[in-house]
Amino acid sequence: ETGVTQTPRHLVMGMTNKKSLKCEQHLGHNAMYWYKQSAKKPLELMFVYNFKEQTENNSVPSRFSPECPNSSHLFLHLHTLQPEDSALYLCASSQGRGGENGYTFGSGTRLTVV
């Protein structure tokens, strides 16, 4: 375990379902992130939260809705997804911009939309 825990590890959902991904960090970091990793593509930053405030929304469709109730927890609410949204969703945290302490990533949620 890296200190960043993501649940569930795997998720299969239909296009009309609503589900949520959860991320929790026990590192005392002040910034949390959602990244999407699709096959053959670089990791794409989706959302950034700094001290619970969203500071970046990287043109993500509204069917993805983030929530950060406190600096230790981050959620990604999913609804009416498309098959092309199937990917590995990674959560990360950092203290400030990372620096020597770096970014810490969770193990990811592998999402399949059917």
For another protein, the binding residue among 11, 23, 48, 74 (CB under 8 A) is 48
For another protein, the binding residue among 76, 81, 94, 111 (CB under 8 A) is 94
Rg, C-alpha atoms of the chain: 13
| Shortest distance (Å) from residue 66 CB to another protein | 15
Contact between residue 63 and residue 78 where contact means Cβ atoms under 8 Å apart: yes
Tokens representing 46 are: 């989706």
| Residue 34 contacts another protein per CB under 8 A | no
CA distance 32 to 45: 11
Question: Tokens 């059917």 label which residue?
Answer: 114
| Shortest distance (Å) from residue 80 CB to another protein | 25
| Residue 45 contacts another protein per CB under 8 A | yes
